[in-house]
């Protein structure tokens, strides 16, 4: 599991729990903002493009909406960093069930 060096990830209890399940722990160095830039960009997109405009009434509705957004994000939304291709077309993925 890769994480930052936040206090919730550096406690002995957390580290011991992960290793007890055979999970290898790695942490990004301080100030290494590039290490998780892709997931940070995804979370920014989903919040700004979906969640803020579609407040859910319950968890089920939120899960369904996020699943629909992820499908849209991967198969319909062009990405500037991929020369305006969708991730699915850029990487040659077949449609997969989301959710």
- Whether the per-residue pLDDT at 97 is higher than 70: the answer is no
As a whole number, the mean pLDDT across the chain is: 82
Query: Residue 36: exposed, middle, or buried by beta-carbon count in 10 A (0-12, 13-18, 19+)?
Result: middle
Exposure on the CB side of residue 19, measured as CA atoms within 13 A: 10
Q: Is the pTM of this model over 0.85?
A: no
What is the per-residue pLDDT across 38-59, written as a single tens digit (0 to 9) for each?
777 888 899 999 999 999 999 9
What is the per-residue pLDDT across 24-42, written as a single tens digit (0 to 9) for each?
887 666 555 555 677 778 8
Domain ranges of the chain: 1-31, 33-99
């Amino acid at each position: 599991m890769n994480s930052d060096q936040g206090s919730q990830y550096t406690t002995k209890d957390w580290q011991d729990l992960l290793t007890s399940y055979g999970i290898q722990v790695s942490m990004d160095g301080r100030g290494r903002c590039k290490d998780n830039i892709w997931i940070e960009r995804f979370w920014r997109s989903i919040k700004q493009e979906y969640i803020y405009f579609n407040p859910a009434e319950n968890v089920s509705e939120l899960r369904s909406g996020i699943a629909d957004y992820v499908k849209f994000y991967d198969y319909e939304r062009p990405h500037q960093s991929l020369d305006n291709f969708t991730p699915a077309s850029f990487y040659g993925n077949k449609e997969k069930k989301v959710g």
